[in-house]
Amino acid sequence: MRNAVLQLQELRTETERRQVLRIAVRQLERADLYLAAVCALEIPEAEVAIEALRDDVEELRRQLVDARARLGG
């Protein structure tokens, strides 16, 4: 799987593309958990930025899920 992630996009098979998208979605889910943990620290200066990042991460995750669905996976 590491090879599929590292190789050029145009050289990936359709199966590898779906796998890479699945991995990316998982990583974004983990990123959201980390951001939620940081948000729980209640650092007033960071809360607005963290919430904006969480929104962006969620939007990107949705786009990747949609892209994966279009590939049939």
Task: List, in order, residues 6 or more apart from 68 with CB less than 8 Å away.
Answer: 18, 21, 22, 25
**What would the mean pLDDT of 4-32 be, rounded to a whole number?**
82
Structure tokens at 4: 């599929």
Model confidence over 25-64: pLDDT tens digits?
A: 999 999 999 999 999 998 988 989 999 999 999 999 999 9
- What predicted TM-score, i.e. pTM, was given to this entire model? 0.76
